[in-house]
Amino acid sequence: MPKVVTGFYAVCKGREIGVFTTWDEAQSHVQGFPGAKFKKFKTLPEAEQWYKTNLPQRPANPQPTTTTPSTSTVSASNVVPRSSRSVGVSPVRSKPSPTTVPKLVPQSVPRVVAPTPAPAPVQLPRIAAPKNTTVEIVYSDGACKGNGGPGAVAGIGVWWGPNDPRNLSERCPGGQTNNRAELIAIARVLETVPKSTNTLIIRTDSQYSQNALTKWCLNWRKNGWRTAGGQPVTNKELIDYTLNLIETRHRSGQPVRLEYVKGHSGDIGNDGADALAVGGCNLPEIPERDWVGLKNAYNAVPDIMADFADIDPADFILSDEDLMRELEEDF
Amino acid sequence: MPKVVTGFYAVCKGREIGVFTTWDEAQSHVQGFPGAKFKKFKTLPEAEQWYKTNLPQRPANPQPTTTTPSTSTVSASNVVPRSSRSVGVSPVRSKPSPTTVPKLVPQSVPRVVAPTPAPAPVQLPRIAAPKNTTVEIVYSDGACKGNGGPGAVAGIGVWWGPNDPRNLSERCPGGQTNNRAELIAIARVLETVPKSTNTLIIRTDSQYSQNALTKWCLNWRKNGWRTAGGQPVTNKELIDYTLNLIETRHRSGQPVRLEYVKGHSGDIGNDGADALAVGGCNLPEIPERDWVGLKNAYNAVPDIMADFADIDPADFILSDEDLMRELEEDF
RNA sequence: CGACACCCGGUCGG
DNA sequence: CCGACCGGGTGTCG
């Protein structure tokens, strides 16, 4: 008996969110939309059909053709940890392409999230992800030399592409453990990427981070942050803060997705992030950050973000060709 | 209060042995020389000075200029792997050099060991162990060209001394990996050495082998041969068989000790075993052995052992020349 | 019990 | 500089 693919449609105050193939996925992407409602369908096409026909005033999409530059082949050895990663000095960037990027009201329109690939054998005909969807893919990683030992040293790495100025290679603040580093790397992405309406895909090799931020958190928020064994969740404040960053993005119209990639499998992006994270271990110690305070500051944007405040993501978005190549990589 | 370095000088029948920093070390290296005498010094330099000036006919350190490029020094390449190592056929051993070599009682005489560099932070002299203890020292090593690759080829080497007929240079049976070769080399020692009451010291550069056969095995036997990560132990049968060989020795009154020596550190014995192991890689492929069956055969002695049943170890004591050369090697 | 990371140590090779 | 063969250990959760 063939499994039936089930589609969900999520709405929030008349604003579309997307179509999802699993309840968890939908749940995850709807966080921060208090009144979200779901409509369930037997088949994915049904859901998509309904979704399309019921969209509010969606502007007909202008083909965003070739978005750019070369950055020919992507190679790990190309990773350039910026030594000048310190403060200030916003890099002199070439003119941002005079392209559109329409100014929106702070309250921007959320974008569609592509359904998960679903590696399952047979598949009902899949609706292609909306062509106009623009995606930004970034890799995060944490490293921790001597993890578990007395003199452990941890670093975090964020990789967008070779020589991309948004790349990060930093020392992990506070407690030096692998999982904290992994988590903070993700938080740093969200702190440093200028907001846009592009779907933001953060790829991590830490199943712990992915689960903490998309699955386990659902339970934790209901049970007072208790582990299955009754213990308090270990990196509660950090996780809560990071969740807040994600939800803020969602609220302002930028879908954020956390994807798992296997570590040390020749994945170009993962290797790049790894190199940056390892490099971060060499930087001087820095004090713990006040995650609660940061969260309470709500939508306050950390200083570091100023570095990239004037960067147009369009300059660094993958070209269609690069994206294809990358997607093909893991078959 | 400054610690005092203590030096020992050991002699045996007018032949020098070396300088040692601890009593145990000296004791260990002099075992088998019934009449060994020790002279004690307050400082290591004192001992070394005395040792140097009191050497028997030592050539006045002639600038070792042209050290006869060919084979003069006892070097690994000098080792003669016996190709006729196969079964049965008790090899017609070439007459032991017509030189002296006084016939001794079957009580085999262990070989001389060069003085150890002694990095030790010093030790006060302790009470000597039972003087009558006799030790046999042997070096084992494994090699594996293209380790991890598809066409890997592994060999094993066992080194007792230059041209010692007990030396082994064989192709590794079954799976070709470095660790298996290392392990099997040790097993081969135990299979080929005639039983006696002499303490048998097997020196290996494989910490993996040493730990597997002396530490980890304790846990494995209690937890059902599970690795720390829950996976089954990799060379279980081989390890279990080898442990059985060791325990059989112990039961029959022969202590067996596994010692770790750093690889590629100019250690004469390790280099010799290495050469033999590398040579073993050139021999034709041989099938995997039935380790479980062998273990179940209990104390059955493999056929090959017959080869050495009638060998008098006294035939292979180092000549004075060999000893000199060996001593010169590590300064 | 399971999973994913993060390491530490040793050897063997190209 | 790279890789594979082999262990033990912690960080974290279900």
Helix (H, G, I), strand (E, B) or coil at A171: strand
Q: Helices A178-192 and A268-280: crossing angle, nearest 10°?
A: 110
Could you give the CA distance from residue B8 to residue B112 in angstroms, rounded to a whole number? Answer: 16
Nucleic strand C under 7 Å from the C-beta of B133 = no
Output phi, psi for B12, to 5 deg. Answer: -145, 115
Residue nearest to nucleotide C10 (CA to C1'): B207
Strand D nucleotides, any atom under 7 Å from protein beta carbons: they are 3-14
Q: State the pLDDT at residue B264.
A: 83
CB neighbour list of residue A297: distance below 8 Å, 6 or more residues apart:
none
Nucleotide nearest to A261 (CA to C1'): C4
Please report which helix (H) or strand (E) contains residue A183, including its range.
helix A178-192
Task: Give the distance, in angstroms, between residue B93 CA and nucleotide C6 C1'.
Answer: 57
CA B170 – CA B189 distance, rounded (Å): 12
Is residue B154 within 8 Å of residue B281, measured between CB atoms? Answer: yes
Which residues make beta-bridge pairs with B199?
Answer: B135
Residue A15 reports pLDDT greater than 60: no
Q: Which of residues 34-63 of B touch strand C (CB under 7 A)?
A: none
Q: What per-residue confidence (pLDDT) applies to B149?
A: 86
Residue A278 CB closer than 7 angstroms to strand C?
A: yes
Residue-wise DSSP of A83-147: TT-SSS----PPPPP--------SSPPP---PPP----SS-PPPPPPPTT--EEEEEEEEEEETT
Which residue has better confidence, B39 or A152? A152
Q: Is the CB of B262 under 7 A from strand C?
A: yes
Give the mean pLDDT of chain A. Answer: 67
Q: Which nucleotide is nearest to B152 (CA to C1')?
A: C13
Beta strands in chain B (DSSP E): 7-12, 15-20, 37-41, 135-145, 153-159, 168-171, 199-204, 256-260
Distance of CA A321 to the CA centre of its chain: 21
Nucleotide with the nearest C1' to B177 CA: D5
Rounded to two decimals, the ipTM of the complex is 0.56
Look at A171-175, A231-235, B92-96, B324-328 and tell me which has the smallest mean pLDDT.
B92-96
Place of tokens 């050139």: B282
- Among protein residues, the one whose C-alpha sits closest to the C1' atom of C3 is A207
Nearest CA to A181 out of A193, A192, A169, A191 is that of: A169
Q: Which of A61-65, A167-171, B163-167, B263-267 has the lowest mean pLDDT?
A: A61-65
pLDDT at B292: 94
With 60 as the cut, is the pLDDT of residue A11 above it? no
Say whether the CB atom of B204 is under 7 angstroms from strand C.
no
What is the pairing mode between strands A135-145 and A199-204?
A: parallel
Q: Which helix (H) or strand (E) holds A38?
A: strand A37-41
A180 CA: nearest nucleotide by C1': D11
B148 touches strand C (CB under 7 A): yes
Distance between the alpha carbon (CA) of B147 and the C1' atom of C14, Å: 9
Distance B65 CA to C9 C1' (A): 40
**Strand C, nucleotides covered by protein (CB < 7 Å):** 1-14
Q: What is the pTM of this model?
A: 0.59
Q: What percent of chain A has pLDDT over 70?
A: 50
Protein CA A20 to sugar C1' D14 (Å):
24
- Checking if the pLDDT of A75 tops 50, the result is no
CB of A274 lies under 7 Å from some atom of strand C: yes
Instruction: Find the residue closest to C5 using CA and C1' atoms.
Output: A206
Q: Which nucleotide has its C1' atom closest to residue A270's CA?
A: C5
Q: Does the CB of A262 sit below 7 A from strand C?
A: yes
Q: Within 7 Å: CB of A175 and strand C?
A: no
Q: Is the CB of A243 under 7 A from strand C?
A: no
pLDDT in tens, A83-95: 333 222 233 333 3
pLDDT of residue A315: 52
Residue B303, SS3? helix
B259 CA → C4 C1’, Å: 37
Q: Say what the pLDDT of residue A297 is.
A: 83
Q: Confirm whether any atom of chain C, the nucleic acid strand, is less than 7 Å from CB of B78.
A: no
* pLDDT tens, per residue, chain B with 331 residues: 222 223 444 443 334 455 554 444 454 444 444 334 445 443 444 455 455 444 443 333 333 333 333 322 233 333 443 333 333 323 333 333 333 333 222 222 233 333 433 333 333 233 334 433 689 999 999 999 999 888 899 999 999 999 999 999 999 999 999 999 999 999 999 999 999 999 999 999 999 999 999 998 988 898 889 888 888 899 999 999 999 999 999 999 999 999 999 888 888 999 999 999 999 999 999 999 999 999 998 555 543 443 454 454 444 444 434 443 443 443 2
Calculate the dihedral angle through the C-alpha atoms of A227, A230, A232, A236, rounding to the nearest 10 degrees.
20
> CA–C1' distance B265–C8 (Å)?
23
Question: Region A62-87: what's the mean pLDDT?
Answer: 32
Residues 198-227 of A with CB under 7 A from strand C: 205-208
**Per-residue pLDDT tens digits for A120-138:** 332 222 333 443 378 999 9
Q: Which residue type, as a one-letter code, is found at position B289?
A: R
Determine if strand C comes within 7 Å of the CB of A117.
Answer: no
Q: Which nucleotide is nearest to A225 (CA to C1')?
A: D13
CB atoms within 10 A of CB A38: 14
Measure A137 CA to C10 C1' (Å): 39
| Residues in Cβ contact with A246 at an 8 Å cutoff, skipping those fewer than 6 apart | A31, A32, A190, A213, A256
C1' (D8) to CA (A18) span, angstroms? 47
pLDDT in the model for residue A29? 52
Contact flag, residue B178 CB and nucleic strand C, below 7 A: yes
**A142 bridge partner residues:** A156
Rg (CA), chain A: 20
Distances (CA, A) of B75 to A82, A207, B114, B157, B265: 50, 53, 14, 15, 13
> Which residue's CA shows the smallest distance to C1' of C11?
B206
Q: What angle do CA B209, B213, B218 make, to 5 degrees?
A: 135
Tell me the three-class secondary structure of A261-290, residue by residue.
CCCCCCCHHHHHHHHHHHHHCCCCCCCCCC
Strand C proximity: list residues 181-200 of B with CB under 7 Å.
Answer: 182
| CA–C1' gap, A257 and C3, in angstroms | 21
What Å value separates CA B209 and C1' D2? 25
